[in-house]
Amino acid sequence: MVLSTGTISLKAPEGSKAIVVKNLYLSCDPYMRSRMTKSDKPSYVPSYNPGSAITGFGVAKVVDSDHSKFKEGDLVWGMTGWEEYSLITNPDTLFKIENTDVPLSYYTGLLGMPGMTAYVGFYEVCSPKKGENVFISAASGAVGQLVGQFAKLMGCYVVGSAGSKEKVNLLKSKFGFDAAFNYKEEQDLDAALKSYFPEGIDIYFENVGGKMLDAVLLNMKLHGRIAVCGMISQYNLEKPEGVHNLLNVIGKRIRMEGFLVFDYFHLYPKFLDLIIPNIKEGKITYVEDTAEGLHNAPGALIGLFTGRNVGKQVVVVAPVE
């Protein structure tokens, strides 16, 4: 990634139905890594074009509009460029921000794509019931921290794994998890999971893959559900690790389902109805890790893959006026 300087017209071309936005916050998300690989295999997101600005989810302010749905001054979230200003030619994919009495940066995470991911993965894919045992990997990240809080609101027993003592403490003290552990300190993940789930796991929210998934499969209960959201441990490997314990899916009648948040964006109003009151009542909290300025954006994105961030990684591009 390189930082470059260019020019842009701050007027949307007439008849284009496009808008010009000033970017305020950018979201660093693990899926962006897959867009940096040229592959012949079909993917749910296209690869980035070398030499062009990379794109990702962000929060922006409309500077000029040729679209009937948007006007100058509107605040929006959705897919935008990693640049100070962007010309967005398909603004129908953007969401207009109506609730402005919460931090605007939340629309990169809690109230944006990661929040929706947590919501649909837990409620729609996992079909949770009160009192069930829930395990979440990468639990202090943008998605995991929210899944855990949703599960606690439902009356579930919740355990999370994370990669540092600080993150483990955060899960228990800030997000209300019943227990948490540092996977880097566990020599035997199977034994660790058995100690936290002596009766087994009903729901596993999968964010990491690899050895953790293998250990979880040994500890799932009959008719357990696994929502496969991501597998961050595999994204930078030349050769992905194999999974050895899949036979458990048969005997335990486990339902393991991958999902993409894009298929569920029609549920966004329903999601807001659930989450906004819980934020205002202090029942849901959120932790962000902020990088200041576009020049710090590449380092912030790379940091996701070494666990450097604590909470949702956000890049502040411009102050909100």
In tens, the pLDDT along 160-183 reads: 999 999 999 999 999 999 999 999
Single pTM value for the model: 0.89
> What pLDDT was estimated at residue 209?
93
> What pLDDT was estimated at residue 31?
87
Per-residue pLDDT tens over the stretch 91-138:
999 999 998 888 999 999 999 999 999 999 999 999 999 999 999 999
Per-residue pLDDT, averaged over 265-274, amounts to: 95
Residue 24 phi/psi, 5-degree rounding, is -105, -50
Q: Indicate whether 309 pLDDT > 90.
A: no
Q: How far apart are CA 297 and CA 284, in angstroms?
A: 27
Q: How many residues does the chain have?
A: 321
Mean pLDDT of the chain: 94
> What pLDDT was estimated at residue 87?
96
Alpha helices in 222-292 (DSSP H): 248-251, 268-280
Q: How many CB atoms lie within 10 A of CB 269?
A: 9
Domains by residue range for the chain, with CATH: 19-108+287-316 (3.90.180.10), 113-262 (3.40.50.720)
Beta pairing class for 75-81 and 55-65 = antiparallel
